[in-house]
Amino acid sequence: MKAAIDIGSNSVRMLLGEVVGDQVVPFQYFRQITRLAGGYDPQTGISAAASARTLSALENFARRLDQIQTRAVATEAVRRAVNGEQFLAEVLNRTGISVEIINGDEEAALSSSGVLAGLQPSPLTALIFDIGGGSTEFIVIKDRERLWQKSYPLGVVSLAETLSPEVVITEILTVLVDDLRLAGFQSLLAGTDCQLVGTAGTVTTLAAFDLAMTEYDWQRVNNYVLSRSALLSLYQRLCPLSATERELLPGIEKGRGDLIVYGADIVLALMKLLDKDALRVSDFGLLEGTLLSMH
């Protein structure tokens, strides 16, 4: 038994499982939305309230980790915070969990290996994206090999706290498309056999919402295909509602009500820019990739 922990900008997650061959066998999964990036300040970093919420969740996780080999990683919220190292020192002191800050490239690499372990059949050509609370990673895959990857400062928590989210999304995705063109992937991604694959909370929540799930079932969400027209319909249902009203809908997790529309904005804009009519959803991602990295 091994444990992987992801300290993200919106949620902290832990997976207990095994790696058999090149496959992840999940045993138990834990998640708590703590919004570590909430109230972030460039001068002071992670807020005291966000730090306290996240430490509390990690203390609960730590109680299950006796004698279990663990790899814990922290992403964008801790990467950019001036007090990120101080926060991780407090995590180690309070929980005994040693956490490493991974850069955007490693986050993309771990996410893509997790995604590819979960998708059946595995796509031959794909653009994989992982929307987080503070950043989004994009990975180009061909024949199961990573050809290109990059992390961009585009996350649902940071969008929720900016005054012009639509402008930010447009600007960053325009840079993405330019980067992909300069890297020579325009024709590869335009091909009909190239799949758009999304992982992490935004896309799994949208899939669960489309499936009207009252209880989340990762096996139904994994490999689910969400059409652009279905996504637009979901978006139009969500937009007029308050965050509280959204969280009463089947499939919308408590704590995501104010973020899910920003996530859908990113996905719809990406599908439009790349002229893709469908999105394949992966329940596997960074956590599973982290577990695989320990094998």
The enclosing domain of 67 has a CATH number of 3.30.420.40
Same domain assignment for residues 153 and 235: yes
Last residue of a domain, one of 48, 76, 104: 104
Does residue 294 lie in a domain region? no
CATH number of the domain to which 159 belongs = 3.30.420.150
> With contact defined as beta carbons under 8 Å apart, do 90 and 59 qualify?
no
Q: 176: phi > 0 → left, psi -120 to 50 → alpha, else beta; which?
A: alpha
**pTM as predicted:** 0.87
Same domain assignment for residues 185 and 208: yes
Strand-pairing partners, residue 23, are 20
Does residue 113 lie in a domain region? no
Q: Which residue has the tokens 């299950």?
A: 64
- Strand 2-7: give its sheet, edge to edge: 23-33, 11-20, 2-7, 69-74, 99-101
Does residue 93 lie in a domain region? yes
Does residue 110 lie in a domain region? no
Same domain assignment for residues 201 and 236: yes
Cα–Cα distance, 285 to 8 (Å, whole number):
13
Does residue 112 lie in a domain region? no
pLDDT of 93 > 90? The answer is yes
Does residue 114 lie in a domain region? no
Does residue 109 lie in a domain region? no
Does residue 173 lie in a domain region? yes
| Mean model confidence pLDDT for the chain | 90
Cα 34 to Cα 62, 134, 153, 191, 209: the distances in Å are: 16, 13, 19, 39, 21
At 172, the pLDDT band (50, 70, 90 cuts) reads: very high
Residue 187, pLDDT score: 84
Same domain assignment for residues 136 and 43: no
Same domain assignment for residues 47 and 171: no
Domain, as residue range, for 225: 119-288
Same domain assignment for residues 70 and 176: no
Same domain assignment for residues 91 and 143: no
Same domain assignment for residues 148 and 201: yes
pLDDT of 90 > 80? The answer is yes
Same domain assignment for residues 145 and 209: yes
Last residue of a domain, one of 104, 128, 146: 104
Last residue of a domain, one of 59, 74, 104: 104
At 193, the pLDDT band (50, 70, 90 cuts) reads: confident
In the chain, the number of structural domains is 2
The first and second tokens of residue 35, run together, are: 């919004």
94 closest CA partner among 66, 69, 62, 65: 62
Same domain assignment for residues 77 and 147: no
Instruction: For residue range 228-263, list pLDDT tens digits in order.
Output: 999 999 999 999 999 999 999 999 988 888 889 999
Same domain assignment for residues 244 and 155: yes
Instruction: For residue range 60-75, list pLDDT tens digits in order.
Output: 999 999 889 999 999 8
Same domain assignment for residues 239 and 130: yes
Strand-pairing partners, residue 17, are 2, 26
Q: Which of 158-162, 242-246, 291-295 has the lowest mean pLDDT?
A: 158-162
Residue 295, pLDDT score: 76
